[in-house]
Amino acid sequence: MRWANHAQNIKTTGVKSIIEIGDIDQALTAANVIGDDRLQKEARGYSLPESFTHGTSAKRMYWFKKGFTLGDINEADTFSANKLD
């Protein structure tokens, strides 16, 4: 997300970045695990896309990567996006 992009660029004395190796991979793993599709499949054995409130695992990962890479909140506006993936 945007905060991760900016955190990566923060320089402190003796530290290259406050984002450590593996942090982004862990964030993507978390985004994958908490997608509406995955949570519903684990709970019920199937998912109902019309009931999703926070996006699928794939979409959560996509938007995290986009926000992290670009660091521009205007580029991560899921409410105005024509296409979410």
Q: What is the pLDDT of residues 24-52, one digit of tens each?
A: 999 999 999 999 999 999 999 999 999 99
In a domain, 44, yes or no: yes
Count of domains for the chain: 1
In a domain, 12, yes or no: no
In a domain, 26, yes or no: yes
Parent domain of 45: 2-6+22-76
> What is the value of pTM for the model shown?
0.76
Alpha helices in 1-85 (DSSP H): 2-9, 23-33, 36-44, 57-70
- What share of the chain in percent tops pLDDT 70? 88
- Residue 31: strand pairing partners: none
Q: pLDDT value at position 12? A: 61
How far is 40 from 83, CA to CA, in rounded Å? 23
Judged on CB neighbours under 10 Å (0-12, 13-18, 19+), 77 is exposed
